[in-house]
């Protein structure tokens, strides 16, 4: 496919602030759906604003249709016709007193005659499902309707690329699903779609390609199953592995063969499970142990020898103080969310874990493991670790 958008060694530094984008290079092919994924502050919005000339790189080059972007008024006007940018907050993008006037603003600025403006507005509103709303004041619309009007205002200029900054921000689950279906529909109609998001569950099934961004740098750029497939890399990006991919990985760890094509939907996962149920049973090892250290009752450094004697143990932390203690000791955490269940899964594979917790959270560990064991008929041992715990390895 033809490359339509490209960044070559792009950097940007806000005046008096840190460097927001640090030497980024990538490309987008015509017709692709690309998700730029990273935590808040990663530089996603800054990078997106370079695509239609809202921000000029301090270093490097942005190319559109194999031509470097030029920043004179005439060139930017033509670029913004072809690269449509939809802001995270629709209220910042909608400026006119009626829906019709707002959607007509772009075509009018491009010099369309009145007939062409009417046709462009009608088509754009029909595309987003807002036909009949022409006379409505935008402040009478719901959040999802405002977002659709903002999109219509961009579509009315018939761009080649649609760029969305956090497209589902502020929308309820139903509104988010509607919007992502609209993006799919626009993509099927030939539009290239580029979104930024921190929502891995949104990006994983939707995108053709994912770019993981952290502190202004690209950590990974690949198809979703690969980009999100390395738990350590995903944790480094302050994200989580998508639940379907995590489930597939866990089945693989427990000895169940997984297809090369990873599940992208519930339907895919059901197909995998049905095949497993038909063809294989799995032998389960003796359960591992879950150890618990309460950081409110002891200094984490005092059990360093205990941990060194168990180099294969995975460590998780529950609660802000526990995570702060781990950071103070430069301790790498394997789990920072869903910690108890992840340690139960390790125990079921015969592997040991250590959970760092606080007074307020400590009781939850025992209660959750006990409840699971009662329900499943499994026995998993939960043991406290104290400053004077034996450093001997597990027999």
Q: Which of 53, 114, 112 is nearest to 84 (CA)?
A: 53
CA nearest neighbour of 198 among 62, 91, 45, 89: 45
Instruction: Specify the pLDDT at position 359.
Output: 83
Select the more confidently predicted residue: 61 or 109: 61
Pairwise CA distance, residues 385 & 355, whole Å: 10
293 has pLDDT over 90 = yes
pLDDT (0 to 100) of residue 394: 46
Task: Please give the pLDDT value at position 113.
Answer: 92
- 151 compared with 337, residue with greater pLDDT: 151
Task: Write the pLDDT tens digit of every residue in 123-181.
Answer: 999 888 888 999 999 989 988 889 889 999 999 999 999 999 998 888 888 778 878 88
Determine the Cα–Cα distance for residues 387 and 209; give it in Å rounded to an integer. 47
Cβ pair 18, 42 in contact under 8 A? no
The confidence band for 273, taking pLDDT boundaries of 50, 70 and 90, is confident
In terms of average pLDDT, the best of 92-106, 311-325, 371-385 is 92-106
Tokens of residue 315, six digits:
């460590």
pLDDT digits (tens, 9 = 90+) for 43-96: 999 999 999 999 999 999 999 999 999 999 999 989 999 999 999 888 888 989
Q: Are 265 and 205 in contact (CB under 8 A)?
A: yes
Q: How would you classify the pairing of strands 289-294 and 353-357?
A: parallel
150-164, 238-252, 279-293: least confidently modelled range: 279-293
Q: How far is it, in rounded angstroms, from Cα 187 to Cα 200?
A: 20
Q: How far, rounded to the nearest angstrom, does the alpha carbon of residue 232 sit from its chain's CA centroid?
A: 15
Q: What band does 29 get if pLDDT is binned at 50, 70 and 90? A: very high
Mean pLDDT over residues 295-305, rounded? 87
User: Rounded to whole angstroms, how far apart are CA atoms 377 and 214?
Assistant: 43
Q: Does residue 278 surpass a pLDDT of 80?
A: no
Per residue in 169-224, pLDDT (tens digit) is: 888 887 788 788 888 888 888 899 999 999 999 999 999 999 999 999 999 999 99
Nearby residues of 89 by Cβ (< 8 Å), 6 or more positions away: 169, 170
Q: Facing residues of 206 across strands?
A: none
Give mean pLDDT, residues 298-311.
88
Can you give the chain as a three-state secondary structure string? CCEEEEEEEEEEECCCCCEEEEEEEEEEECCCEEEEECCCCCCHHHHHHHCCCCCCCCEEEEEECCEECCCCHHHHHHHHHHEEEECCCHHHHCCCCCHHHHHHHHHHHCCCCHHHHHHHHHHHHHHCCCCCCCCCCHHHCCHHHHHHHHHHHHHCCCCCEEEEECCCCCCCHHHHHHHHHHHHHHHHCCCEEEEEECCHHHHHHHCCEEEEEECCEEEEEECHHHHCCCHHHHHHCCCCCCHHHHHHHHHHHCCCCCCCCCCCCHHHHHHHHHHHHHHCCCCCCCCCEEEEEECCCCCHHHHHHHHHCCCCCEEEECCHHHHHHHHHCCCCCCECCCHHHHHHHHHHCCCCEEEEECHHHHHHHHHHHHHHHHHHCCCCEEEECCCCCCCCCCC
pLDDT for the residue 173? 83
For the chain, the average pLDDT equals: 89
pLDDT band of residue 279 (cuts 50, 70, 90) is low
Enumerate residues 6+ apart whose C-beta is below 8 A from 46: 12, 14, 20, 21, 55, 216
pLDDT at 389: 67
Q: Which residues pair with 36 in a beta bridge?
A: 196, 211
Residue 395 has pLDDT above 70, yes or no: no
Q: How confident is the model at residue 115 (pLDDT cuts 50, 70, 90)?
A: very high
For residue 175, count other CB atoms closer than 10 A to its CB.
Answer: 17
Enumerate domains of the chain plus CATH numbers.
3-236 (3.40.50.300), 289-384 (3.40.1010)
Q: Give residue 122's pLDDT.
A: 93
Average pLDDT over residues 260-266: 87
């Amino acid at each position: 496919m033809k490359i339509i958008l490209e960044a070559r060694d792009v950097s940007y530094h806000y005046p008096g602030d840190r460097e927001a984008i640090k030497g980024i290079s990538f490309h987008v092919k015509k017709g692709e759906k690309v998700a730029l994924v990273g935590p808040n502050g990663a530089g996603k919005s800054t990078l997106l604003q370079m695509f239609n000339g809202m921000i000029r790189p301090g270093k490097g080059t942005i190319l559109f249709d194999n031509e470097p972007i030029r920043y004179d008024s005439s060139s930017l006007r033509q670029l913004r016709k072809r690269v449509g940018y939809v802001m995270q907050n629709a209220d910042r993008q909608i400026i006119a007193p009626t829906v019709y006037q707002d959607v007509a603003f772009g075509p009018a600025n491009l010099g369309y005659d009145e007939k062409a403006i009417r046709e462009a507005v009608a088509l754009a509103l029909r595309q987003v499902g807002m036909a009949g709303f022409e006379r409505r004041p935008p402040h009478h619309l719901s959040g999802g309707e405002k977002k659709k009007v903002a999109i219509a205002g961009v579509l009315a200029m018939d761009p080649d690329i649609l760029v969305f900054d956090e497209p589902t921000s502020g929308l309820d689950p139903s509104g988010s699903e509607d919007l992502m279906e609209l993006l799919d529909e626009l993509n099927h109609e030939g539009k290239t779609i580029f979104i930024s998001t921190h929502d891995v569950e949104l990006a994983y099934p939707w995108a053709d390609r994912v770019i993981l961004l952290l502190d202004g740098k690209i950590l990974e750029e690949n198809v979703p199953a690969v980009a999100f497939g390395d738990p350590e890399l995903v944790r480094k990006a302050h994200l989580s592995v998508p639940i379907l991919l995590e489930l597939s990985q866990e089945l693989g760890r427990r000895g169940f063969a997984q297809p090369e094509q990873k599940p992208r939907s519930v339907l895919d996962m059901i197909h995998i499970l049905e095949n497993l149920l038909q063809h294989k049973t799995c032998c389960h090892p003796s359960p591992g142990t879950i150890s618990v250290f309460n950081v409110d009752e002891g200094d984490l450094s005092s059990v360093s020898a205990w941990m060194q004697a168990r180099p294969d143990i995975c460590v998780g932390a529950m609660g802000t103080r526990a995570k702060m203690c781990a950071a103070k000791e430069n301790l790498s955490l394997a789990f920072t969310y869903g910690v108890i269940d992840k340690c139960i899964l390790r125990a079921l594979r015969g592997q040991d874990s250590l959970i760092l917790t606080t007074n307020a959270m400590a009781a939850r560990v025992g209660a959750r493991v006990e409840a699971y064991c009662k329900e499943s008929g499994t026995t998993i041992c939960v043991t406290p670790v104290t400053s004077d715990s034996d450093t001997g390895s597990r027999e």
